[in-house]
Amino acid sequence: MKIKEKDISGKWNEYMLTNDQGMAVSILNYGGIITKIMVPDRNGNLENVVIGYKNYQNYEQNPNYFGALIGRVAGRIAGASFVLDGEAYHLETNDGRNHLHGGSHGFHQVIWHTAPFQTEDTVGLKLTHQSADGEGNYPGNVKVTVTYTLNNYNQLTIDYAASTDKATPLTLTNHSYFNLSGNLKNTIEEHHLAIDSRKFVELDQELIPTGRLVDSTGTLFDFRDGRVLGEGLQRHSEKNHVVLGGYDHYFIFDHKKENSVLLRDTENGRRLTVKTNQPGMIMYTANDLEEGIPLTEGISRKHLGVCFETQGSPASLHHDGLSSIILKPEEDYSKQTLFSFDVEE
């Protein structure tokens, strides 16, 4: 187990966490961004399985949110406003007339305070940030801690903890784009995916949740028994046509299985499982990823990665029937997502 720290242009630091199996995770203190995850295939070849920019300066804007920590609220808030305890709050409109991923100066653009750590069988990085009352027009002084921990079983755990002195919306996530083909050799269309979910939230033409929960049975959104992702990327229904062909929807977990997500590349044997105590996730399949961006391996193109944004749904601010994302002063925000990598023969 080891940690290596590297200076990036005199502005940021990148920390590479490496376990005894050779798996390595690289993280910036800027935005808490995961820039690389190196894992083996069935033949032991170590390759990167997330999308990252070739030029680090591109992370300063990062309109695709590659690898970033997202907050205060991950996802879209309709009309860039909400009412809490009888008071209306108006946020930045950075996605049409709506609010996206905490605004243009959200947690993805924060330089986090970092503290690397190492134990006998883990290596990790603790990131902390104090978000002031009124920052981004959100209420409350919020203290946030995000901890990345890598163990010798090729498991990356992300622990999210937060507290506030005033009731406020809060739901955090990581926005990594996964691609198990290794070094972005292929798109995700041939990846096989299973999700422990039978309901998803409908979207309108602005990609805003309508609040209607849809039973996925018999549709392209039913991944309970597993299916090839390309089926939903190539065969458009009304529900995925609205997101330019693919998925950008909130899936509600049934929590009937140990793992909420299982992603496989049958060609090279890589597998990714996701286990979380979050109520659901937004799955985004890079439907509108701009083509031609220089990446660490190759050039960007549509459907080059899939995001599993485990989180609560911002739609709960306007609709009943979804888990609340309001954090109160007497509560502690404590969420965890575990990404496990292995291979099948």
How far is it, in rounded angstroms, from Cα 231 to Cα 102? 32
What is d(CA 130, CA 124) in angstroms, rounded to the nearest whole number?
20
The residue among 276, 238, 30 whose CA lies nearest residue 160 is 276
Of 31, 23, 26, which Cα lies nearest the Cα of 4? 26
* Angstrom distance (rounded) from CA 337 to CA 242: 28
Are 44 and 29 contacting, i.e. CB atoms less than 8 angstroms apart?
no
The three-state DSSP-derived secondary structure of 133-193 is CCHHHCCCCEEEEEEEEEECCCEEEEEEEEEECCCEECECEECCEECCCCCCCCCCCCCEE
Active site residues: 175, 309
What is the maximal distance between C-alpha atoms in the chain?
A: 59
CA 32 – CA 70 distance, rounded (Å): 9
Give the phi and the psi of residue 86 in degrees, each rounded to 5: 80, 0
**Alpha-carbon span 235 to 69, nearest angstrom:** 32
